[in-house]
Amino acid sequence: MSRKVSHLLSISDLTPQDIWRLIRSAGTLKGVRSSVLSGRTLGLLFQKPSMRTRVSFDVAMYQLGGRAIYLSQAEVGLGTRESAQVIAKVLSRYLDGIVARVYAHKDVETLARYADVPIINGLSDVEHPCQALADLMTIYEKKGALKGLTIAFVGDGNNCAASLALGATMLGASFRLGAPKGYWLSDDVMRRAREYAESAGAHIQCTDDADVAARDADVVYTDVWVSMGQEDSAEGRRAAFAPYRVTDKVLARARPGALFMHPLPAHMGEEITADLLDHPQSVVYDQAENRLHVQKALLLERLGTGASEAGPS
DSSP 237-290: HHHHHGGG-B-HHHHHTS-TT-EEE--S---BTTTB-TTSTTSTTB-HHHHHHH
CA dihedral 204, 210, 215, 221 (to 10 degrees): 70
- Domain CATH number, residue 72: 3.40.50.1370
The strand pairing partners of 153, in sequence order, are: 177, 221
Domain count within the chain:
2
Spell out a b/e string for 38-57, using b for 16 or more CB atoms within 10 Å of the CB, else e: eebbbbbbbbbebebbbebb
Is residue 142 located within the same domain as residue 213?
Answer: yes
Is residue 3 in a domain? no
Co-location of 115 and 46 in the same domain: yes
> Per residue of the chain (313 residues), what is the pLDDT tens digit?
345 689 999 999 999 999 999 999 999 999 999 999 999 999 999 999 999 999 999 999 999 999 999 999 999 999 899 999 999 999 999 999 999 999 999 999 999 999 999 999 999 999 999 999 999 999 999 999 999 999 999 999 999 999 999 999 999 999 999 999 999 999 999 999 999 999 999 999 999 999 999 999 999 999 999 876 777 788 999 999 999 999 999 999 999 999 999 999 999 999 999 999 999 999 999 999 999 999 999 999 999 865 445 554 3
**Do the domain assignments include residue 222?**
yes
Same structural domain for residues 16 and 124?
yes
Let me know if residue 5 belongs to a domain.
no
Entry pTM:
0.95
125 burial level (CB within 10 Å; 0-12, 13-18, 19+): buried
Judgement on whether residues 295 and 270 belong to the same structural domain of the protein: no
Q: Is residue 96 part of a domain?
A: yes
Within the chain, strands assigned E span 41-46, 67-72, 97-101, 119-123, 150-154, 174-178, 204-207, 219-221, 259-261
Domain that holds residue 209: 131-287
82 and 109 together in one domain:
yes
Query: Tens digits of per-residue pLDDT, 181-206?
Result: 999 999 999 999 999 999 999 999 99
Does residue 139 sit in the same domain as residue 270?
yes
Q: What values do phi and psi take at 231, rounded to 5?
A: -60, -30
Report how far residue 111's alpha carbon sits from residue 30's, in angstroms, rounded to the nearest whole number.
Answer: 31
Q: Are 112 and 119 in contact (CB under 8 A)?
A: yes
Question: Which residues make Cβ contacts (< 8 Å) with residue 197, sequence separation at least 6?
Answer: 169, 174, 175, 203, 204
If asked whether residues 151 and 31 sit together in one domain, one would say: no
> 122 and 100 in contact (C-beta within 8 Å)?
yes
The pLDDT, as a whole number, for residue 304 is: 85
For residues 297 and 248, membership in a common domain is answered with no
Separation CA 217–CA 202 (nearest Å): 13
